[in-house]
Amino acid sequence: MIDIQISRLIAAAVAAVLLAWACYVTAYVKHKNEVKDEANKILLEGSQLYNEEKYRIEKTKTWYIGYRLALVGLIIAAAAVGWAAAYIVSGEYVLTWAEDCAVAAAAAVIGGMVLDKFIIHPIADGKFFEKVEDPMVAYFLENGSFPVKEVKLSRKEKKAAKLVETVQDQEPVPVVNEKVDVSSLTFDEKVKLIEQLRKTL
């Protein structure tokens, strides 16, 4: 039993480390390139770099402390989510050692990505209030509840919903009950009558 707990924790921790490293190395490279592009644009325009731009360039040469803390936080949070998910699933189903580790790793990656996107990364960027808290508080004050994400429909469901909308939007087809003397109609009137009859079939 203890061996499974340890292997589960190791699998979740390895997945969490790989996820965190990928997220924050990518973020570091992205910010470094953005600052370099901005500095190059200023130099190409023939202007001088001010102290603020020089400071930003120097800052990107080291790994911003907020990202280091976020990386550690993401590793811990994702590993905990992965371990807890595998623990819950193993209580419901009988899992082999490999399946248990796979569940822990998958849950660590999925849970870690969700936590990073909505909580950890906005905090590291210094935009938590702007991106997360302020919109949620504003929505709660206006509607009295927290926002619920809309369920995405599959292609088949979207196509069926669109078909229903088009059928509902169509004008009702007039039913021709009376007998019409076709010989007295003009060519255009005959064409319209044929179209109406075709729609009623």
pTM of the entire predicted model? 0.57
CA-to-CA dists, residue 75 to 22, 109, 115, 185, angstroms: 11, 10, 11, 81
CA-to-CA dists, residue 71 to 43, 65, 119, angstroms: 33, 10, 12
**Which pLDDT does position 1 carry in this prediction?**
57
How far is Cα 92 from Cα 126, in angstroms, rounded to an integer?
Answer: 40
Mean per-residue pLDDT for 102-110? 95
* Choice between 59 and 30, residue whose per-residue pLDDT is larger: 30
Per-residue pLDDT for 72 more than 80? yes
Please, are residues 126 and 70 in contact by the beta-carbon 8 Å criterion?
no
Residues in contact with 182: Cβ distance below 8 Å, sequence separation at least 6, in sequence order: 190, 193
Kindly report, residue by residue over 157-166, the tens digit of the pLDDT.
Answer: 666 666 666 6
Residue with tokens 């990364």: 121
Per-residue pLDDT for 127 more than 90? no
Kindly report, residue by residue over 1-47, the tens digit of the pLDDT.
Answer: 567 888 999 999 999 999 998 888 888 788 778 777 877 777 777 77
Select the highest-mean-pLDDT range: 30-39, 52-61, 64-73, 79-88: 79-88
**Which pLDDT does position 112 carry in this prediction?**
94
* Choice between 57 and 94, residue whose per-residue pLDDT is larger: 94
How far is Cα 95 from Cα 89, in angstroms, rounded to an integer?
Answer: 8
Lowest mean pLDDT among 16-20, 43-47, 90-94, 176-180: 176-180
Please, are residues 136 and 148 in contact by the beta-carbon 8 Å criterion?
no
**Which pLDDT does position 16 carry in this prediction?**
94
**Which pLDDT does position 41 carry in this prediction?**
76
Query: Residue 95 has what DSSP assignment?
Result: -
Residues in contact with 102: Cβ distance below 8 Å, sequence separation at least 6, in sequence order: 11
* The dihedral formed by the CA atoms of 45, 48, 49 and 50, expressed in degrees to the nearest 10: -130
Please, are residues 79 and 9 in contact by the beta-carbon 8 Å criterion?
yes
Closest CA to 12 of 76, 90, 92, 95: 76
Q: Is 149 helix (H, G, I), strand (E, B) or coil?
A: coil
Per-residue pLDDT for 171 more than 80? no
Burial 6-19 (b: 16+ CB within 10 A, else e): ebbbebbbbbbbbb
Per-residue pLDDT for 143 more than 90? no
Mean per-residue pLDDT for 81-92? 92
